[in-house]
Structure 1
Amino acid sequence: MSRIDELIQEFCPDGVEYITLGETCDIRTGKGITKNDGDANAMYPIISGGRAPMGYYHAFNRSENTVTISRVGANAGHVGFMERKFYLNDKCFSVLPKEEYHNQFNNKFLFYTLKANESNITGLQSEGGVPTINTTKVSNIWVPKPPIEIQNEIVKTLDLFTELEAELEAELEARKTQYTYYRDALLSFEGKEVEWKTLGTICKNVTSGGTPLANKSEYYNNGTIPWLRTQEVRFIDIYSTEIKITELALKQSSAKWIPANCIIVAISGATAGRSCINKIPLTTNQHCCNLDIDSSQANYRYVFHWVCAKYEKLKSLGQGARADLNSGIIKSFPIAVPSLHEQEKIASILENFDSLVNDISSGLPAEIEARKKQYEYYRNRLLTFKPIQNSSTAKRNHNANFKVVEFDHFKSKAD
């Protein structure tokens, strides 16, 4: 039996009281401020409707250890916790126990409870227009109120999980920095005798694609041909696409097949300069520049690492208001071409390093993902309580149609 189980048996063997957030907490909106009011040299973060601080301000209007819930915008429903003093904007709620409940709630326990149900809180957004969550809906959220001793023990356990995850994330960032350093060193041929060419001269073929008319259902319904869009080009290997098109679409549009193992470079707007490798034959939209590498001149994976390493340089070559690239810019971009043997050696080293840093099926990313799943499992277990049945709470829960479902104890009277 765990320490938490022992505490439950000692303090609440018959169940735990559930109470609405509005009964227990002051839910207050912050005071409006704009990004221009911020000061990069100030010390208090401005918490608004986003997931990260909007900036910094010279004064604070909320104390440390405060739960926040974004109330306006795409992130409405996002639950945060501020361990330091901060400035709360009017696009966000602060949630703090009322004075009479001050000694009955651990603020961090309240945060973990709401965070576990963040997707449900997000579901309270109003429909149409700008997503918004009003105070009434937040006030009607039911939360468990176990004895403070149990709350403290749960917080201690969950804090250990989050600290470990934070350590792994920090190590991953250090590995990424290390990877970038060694990649740039391996791809630097300064002072070495090496042949330089352009991307266009080491290709058998350079093509773009096309977009079948979106209003033609016969171009997409029951499609079987993989069709890649630039938003899917993210420095990765591509094994499938989000959208597939039909044979008719292929015949009646500019979309065309490209073989596997091409280097695909996005050339449009925000995605310009990003690259990927298609591990299957597929088609692309017109915003992709597809490089079919001549294997007698270059190793395609070496070329991919080169293009990835030169992302910022490629991106800076964009033209016009949208900073678009074009096939001419891509084809004329320079590349160092050592012997095929050296290319393969460099690519192999970078593949192994990249796997440790970025591969979700191995290395640190896999361990972080496993820890997240483990954390979510234990968090849900720890925050799931049997509601007390022998008090007025039981009647109140019944009136609110409150149900206990394994790993799901969220209910809003606004439902």
Structure 2
Amino acid sequence: MSSVDFLDKLLDGVVVEWRSLGEVTLPTNNIKWRDANRTYRYIDLTSVSIETKAITETSEITHSNAPSRAQKVVEKDDVIFATTRPTQQRYCLIDDKYTGEVASTGYCVLRAKKAEVSPKWILHWIASSDFKAYVEENQSGSAYPAISDAKVKDFKIPIPCPDNPEKSLEIQAEIIRILDDFAELTAELTADLATELTAREKQYNYYRDQLLSFEEGEVECKTLGALVDINTGSKPSEILENATNFDYINAGTSRSGYSATSNCEGDTVTTPSRGQGGIGYVGYQRGPFWLGPLCYKLQSVDRSVLINKYLFYFLQSKSELLLGLKKEGGVPAVNKSDLVKLEIPIPALKVQQRIVAILDKFDSLTNSIMKGLPREIELRRKQYEHYRDLLLSFPEPEEVGAQHHG
């Protein structure tokens, strides 16, 4: 049975009345900080995860340090929806853990009249494509888009069998049950796929580290300064910075694309000299690209002694060696004078070639899996959204259709 057929059978000709969220929710209260005598958890705009629709982190506040936006008291089963940058769809259902805590004024708090509507009925409608389209039509401001609480509460949702609240809640509950099952299955599959992704990455790292670990005295070690030329990159011109068709690598970040205009050519290993979170990153690049000033370029002096790709894999597996060279101060950095002293094990050229060939295969396999699994996760999410929207396809009066679809 299709979702549409199921919905028709479930409704079985009952009346469906479209009511605004304001009509099916209760007024809520702001905290009176002058009377507050305990510590509260503060749900700010970054507390709710866009991906999981759950509260992931809160701060503790009291009347003495509460931000001015910390105002709205929330209770169990409230649905909160972020009205700042609303198309991000940052929303969640408040559970026992956060009942009585304080949310930012950047949220619209929807407290269901439970005799008429289930809180999860509101939640699933807030998640719907219709609501997202409504928000896009009714938000204002380009740099800092927002939608008012009043506009959110003007959005209309269907109430089946409004004259028989008990039957109405039964119909809502059956649709909610199916949607929750879909959501749970999607979450489980996503978790399984994420676990697989992590396992494959760990497996790759394990074999890479094994291949690049040598017993003491097994191979000759040489300093990096004796093996490679070490130079820093340079800042691109304004024209290049505004372009989008070249690889620009700086402090562990890259802008995708390609251009013959570059300051580097060929196989090159780079590692940032400084920059937030950049130290220890090692990249490998083929062809022309632009290397930024926060990176070192390491190029083998004699490729009959050292293969650049071998150096890349070694430094990638031993990032702690690079981190160990970091000098603290005004700007944490790895100095070239320390980098040249780093000792690198140099097996015979044929051994380096074999290690590179094996790791290239592992890297290719791991990357294909790591690209494929996120695609699978996205397909699962879209499948859930498809069935959710079908199950919420209630017959709409003309004026509601115009509201929901712009």
TM beyond 0.5: yes
Question: Residues of 1 paired with 2:374 and 2:215: CA distance?
Answer: 37
Matches within 5 A, 1:256-405: 257-270=263-276, 271-293=278-300, 294-316=302-324, 317-357=326-366, 359=367, 362-384=368-390, 385-389=392-396, 393-398=397-402, 400=403, 402-403=404-405
| Counterpart residue identity of residue 375, structure 2 | E
Question: Residues of 1 paired with 2:137 and 2:203: CA distance?
Answer: 37
CA distance change for structure 1 residues 212 and 354 in 2, over 3 Å: closer, same or farther? closer
Question: Residues of 1 paired with 2:304 and 2:195: CA distance?
Answer: 41
| Counterpart residue identity of residue 171, structure 1 | E
Question: Residues of 2 paired with 1:32 and 1:292: CA distance?
Answer: 64
Deviation at 1:141, TM superposition (A): 4.4
Question: Residues of 2 paired with 1:323 and 1:115: CA distance?
Answer: 49
Deviation at 1:62, TM superposition (A): 5.3
CA deviation vs aligned residue, 1:272-320 (integer Å, no higher than 9, x gap): 3312111221222222211223421223232222222233442351443
Deviation at 1:375, TM superposition (A): 2.5
Moved more, 158-167 or 45-54: 45-54
CA deviation vs aligned residue, 1:250-269 (integer Å, no higher than 9, x gap): xxxxxx53222211212221
CA distance change for structure 1 residues 322 and 96 in 2, over 3 Å: closer, same or farther? farther
Is 1:8 aligned to 2:7, yes or no? Answer: yes
CA distance change for structure 1 residues 336 and 20 in 2, over 3 Å: closer, same or farther? farther
| Counterpart residue identity of residue 201, structure 1 | A
State the partner residue of 1:233.
253
| Counterpart residue identity of residue 49, structure 1 | L
CA distance change for structure 1 residues 76 and 156 in 2, over 3 Å: closer, same or farther? closer
Any unmatched runs of 5+ in structure 2? 50-54, 63-72, 161-170
Tell whether the 8 Å contact from 1:261 to 1:300 is kept in structure 2 after alignment. yes
CA distance change for structure 1 residues 10 and 231 in 2, over 3 Å: closer, same or farther? farther
State the partner residue of 1:202.
227
| Counterpart residue identity of residue 284, structure 1 | L
Instruction: Give the 3-state SS of the residue equivalent to 1:160 in structure 2.
Output: helix
Is 1:211 aligned to 2:235, yes or no? Answer: yes
Tell whether the 8 Å contact from 1:49 to 1:71 is kept in structure 2 after alignment. no
CA deviation vs aligned residue, 1:138-192 (integer Å, no higher than 9, x gap): 3344556674122321221232122111111123223334443443333332445
State the partner residue of 1:24.
24
Question: Residues of 2 paired with 1:25 and 1:67: CA distance?
Answer: 10
Question: Residues of 2 paired with 1:125 and 1:333: CA distance?
Answer: 56
Question: Residues of 1 paired with 2:364 and 2:130: CA distance?
Answer: 31
CA distance change for structure 1 residues 395 and 55 in 2, over 3 Å: closer, same or farther? closer
State the partner residue of 2:180.
155
Moved more, 8-17 or 309-318: 8-17
Question: Residues of 2 paired with 1:154 and 1:73: CA distance?
Answer: 26
Deviation at 1:48, TM superposition (A): 2.7
Question: Residues of 1 paired with 2:134 and 2:252: CA distance?
Answer: 25
Question: Residues of 1 paired with 2:399 and 2:137: CA distance?
Answer: 28
Question: Residues of 1 paired with 2:137 and 2:401: CA distance?
Answer: 22
State the partner residue of 2:163.
none
**What fraction of aligned residue pairs are identical, expressed as a percent?**
21
CA distance change for structure 1 residues 112 and 257 in 2, over 3 Å: closer, same or farther? same
Any unmatched runs of 5+ in structure 1? 247-255, 404-410
CA deviation vs aligned residue, 1:356-388 (integer Å, no higher than 9, x gap): 44x1xx225413322312421441353155452
CA distance change for structure 1 residues 112 and 133 in 2, over 3 Å: closer, same or farther? closer
Deviation at 1:213, TM superposition (A): 4.4
- 1:90 pairs, out of 82, 86, 104, with 104
Tell whether the 8 Å contact from 1:116 to 1:379 is kept in structure 2 after alignment. no
Q: How many residues align?
A: 366
Moved more, 291-300 or 378-387: 378-387
Question: Residues of 2 paired with 1:328 and 1:116: CA distance?
Answer: 59
Question: Residues of 2 paired with 1:299 and 1:274: CA distance?
Answer: 19
State the partner residue of 1:136.
150
Instruction: Give the 3-state SS of the residue equivalent to 2:128 in structure 1.
Output: helix
Question: Residues of 1 paired with 2:56 and 2:82: CA distance?
Answer: 12
